Amino acid sequence: MTQHAKTALRPSQGPVRELIDTVRVVAIGLLAATAIQTTLYQPFTIPSSSMEPGLVIGDYVVVSKFAYGWSRASLPFNPPLPDGRLFGRTAERGDVVVFRRPSAPQQTWVKRVIGLPGDRVQVMGGTVFVNGGAIPRTPLNLVQDQDDSGVQVLRVRETTPEGRQYLTYDRGSGLPGDDTGVYVVPEGQYFMMGDNRDNSLDSRWPGDVGVGLLPAENIVGKAEIVVASWKPGAGLFKPWTWLNLRGGRLFKPVR
């Protein structure tokens, strides 16, 4: 018998040793997953309708943590580290960003970047103005609100000065947030808005109500892709709902 065959036929090292090896493999896997979530990508579930129609309740979104560099907000439990970002990069107008709410850092919210540091932002008649120029709005069609079957909303395409396009919802004129004063965005902060304009608490409201102006160090990362989306009623502890997916939202890029 060859030496190789003899080696292959050696008896098991015993159940205790096998258990230790299994625990080691599981621990390494957990450490690798934790490292990826801490430094590279982290999944989030969308809990509200403030970013409709682009993001809907039940979307499972992957967020890039290295898109803007890292801060304490990027880390689990928001540890008390110094302000600022390591390898920080400025977010771009139109980016969809996950962040820690300044007035309640334990909460993670998602909104779109509208105003950059140094910008002057104002909303008049539902139209957003940046530095005196309107962000063009193209009305499309009336649709039923995805999370409120009794409400019709107007789908509107907005195009930023940089040429980026995304869809918003408009419930009508004269609603709260349709007309504001001028917000001057300080250095190191951003002005955020939800795409569901009449159903979003964002930078149009002070921090104790909405977001207020968002400090850069509160950003967790950039929303990149909807991996999947579950219909209402699905849940982790309801195995019979795990395949209750929405069609057309698998691996859908976030615009």
In the residue annotation, 6 being an active-site residue is answered as: no
Residues pairing with 97 in the sheet: 111, 222
SS3 212: coil
CA nearest to 119, candidates 100, 156, 91 = 91
Q: Are 117 and 186 in contact (CB under 8 A)?
A: yes
**Peptide bond before residue 105 is cis, with ω within 30 degrees of 0:** no
Strand 96-100 and strand 137-145: pairing?
unpaired
Task: Examine the residue annotation and report whether 65 is marked as an active-site residue of this protein.
Answer: no
Give the C-alpha separation, 199 to 176, whole Å.
Answer: 9
Q: 222 - beta bridge partners?
A: 64, 97
**Catalytic-labelled residue, pool 49, 71, 74, 111:** 111
DSSP assignment of 63-103? EESSSS-B-GGGSTT---PPSS-BT--PPPTT-EEEEE-TT
Spatial contact of 156 and 137, defined as CB atoms under 8 Å apart: yes
**Marked catalytic residue, from 50, 200, 203, 229:** 50
**Contact between 205 and 144 (Cβ < 8 Å):** no
Alpha carbon 16 to its chain's center = 44
Q: Which residues are catalytic?
A: 50, 111
